[in-house]
Amino acid sequence: MKALILSGGKGTRLRPLTYTGAKQLVPVANKPILWYGIEGIIAAGITEIGIIISPETGEEVKNLTGNGDYFGAKITYILQEQPAGLAHAVKVAQPFLGDSPFIMYLGDNLIESQLNQFVERFKQQQLDGLILLRSVPNPTAFGVAVVDDQGRVLQLVEKPKVPPSNLALVGVYFFDKTIHEAISQIQPSARGELEITDAIQQLINNQKKVEACTLEGWWLDTGKKDDLLSANQIILDSCIIYDVQGEVDENSHILGRVKVGKGTKLVNCSVRGPVIIGENCYLENCFIGPYSSVANKVTLIDAEIEHSVILSEAKIIGINQRIVDTVIGRRATLSTAPQRPKALRFMIGDDSQIELA
């Protein structure tokens, strides 16, 4: 069995961060979102992985993720010239996939459930397709499924104005080789894309075996700032343990589950976990509140942050008001003039320089 991870697209919902980088590489708890999917797939016993990349961000994905040796896998990169739909990505990847069954995983998704159980069901029941579903309050924003009592999929509709159910398609799918024929039988949708929902519906129309599993744990599509912060909170809650490897002076206080990387120095700081602080950072006169991730080589002086994600090499200096619910991009600089603003909330892209006056 192989795996196909989609890491293309333009990431418009996470701009300005994604003007300069791939949305799948934005870190959650200081690890690229894409890597969680890779690790989950490998944990399910699948080590031959194809990653769909775009012309705009493909080189960045390749340079950071590598050939798979770091993960114990073999990674092949597959270029999708235009974002022409999920089914189009499968079509582009057909030479890599061959006749192998495969899991398709959207690279900006995070799920709590282990994939093993779904792989086993897919294999044991010799299915042509297995989809994962989750009930959502806003089904009009998703592909929506109708299933019977036995879990068989009866109908799929992409972003319906009148949803036939509240069961949204999670960005993880399992397919046999029959999906390729189904894709060859569909036409682009009104938005000009080959929709995976149409391809799965074609499987159903062809009398193929398509079933669904409903997720019990959390599922996060990290395509927006608030979703990214929620994912960061959940991962910090579930994964962080106390592990301080940097230098912490006698005037600093650390409370709870906090991870501090090598080469990082804390001077007169208060840190309340769960928090992760990367390597080679410098923090002075700071409060770092719960559910904050600080990446490598960040400088924080006279700053207070909480429930925020700070990317590598960013600088926050002289901000005495607490910064909350914020994402600050790589190498961005945020400072303030002497006059104090009343409240601060940001989403700041890479290489920005902002002075509050």
pLDDT in tens, 121-158: 999 999 999 999 999 888 898 889 998 888 889 988 88
The residues facing 267 across adjacent strands are 284
Judge whether 250 and 265 are in contact, CB under 8 Å.
no
Average of per-residue pLDDT across 48-61: 93
Q: Is the pTM of this model over 0.75?
A: yes
Report the mean per-residue pLDDT for the chain.
Answer: 90
Task: Give me the residue spans of the domains in the chain.
Answer: 2-234, 240-356
Judge whether 331 and 349 are in contact, CB under 8 Å.
no
- Give SS3 for 287: strand
Single-letter code of the amino acid located at 74: K
Pairing state of beta strands 247-248 and 292-294? unpaired
- CA dist 65 and 35 (Å) reads 8
How buried is residue 182: exposed, middle or buried, by Cβ count under 10 Å (0-12/13-18/19+)? buried
Which residue, among 119, 117, 82, has the nearest Cα to 104 in the 3D structure? 119
Residue 78, token pair as written in the block: 């597959």
pLDDT of amino acid 12: 47
Average of per-residue pLDDT across 85-90: 95
CATH for the 2-234 domain, from 3.20.20.70, 3.40.50.920, 3.90.550.10, 3.40.50.620: 3.90.550.10
pLDDT of amino acid 345: 64
Residue 352, token pair as written in the block: 């920005």
* pLDDT digit string, tens, across residues 203-255: 999 999 999 998 888 888 777 788 889 999 999 998 899 999 999 999 999 99
User: Residues with Cβ < 8 Å from 85, sequence gap 6 or more?
Assistant: 188, 189, 193, 194, 195, 196
Average of per-residue pLDDT across 265-282: 98
Domain 240-356 has CATH 3.40.190.10: no
The residue written with tokens 């301080």 in the block is 244
- Give SS3 for 136: coil
- Dihedrals phi, psi of 158, to nearest 5 degrees: -90, 120
Does the fold of domain 240-356 match that of domain 2-234? no
- Give SS3 for 83: coil
pLDDT of amino acid 336: 73
The residue written with tokens 């769909």 in the block is 52
Largest CA distance in the chain: 70
pLDDT of amino acid 11: 46
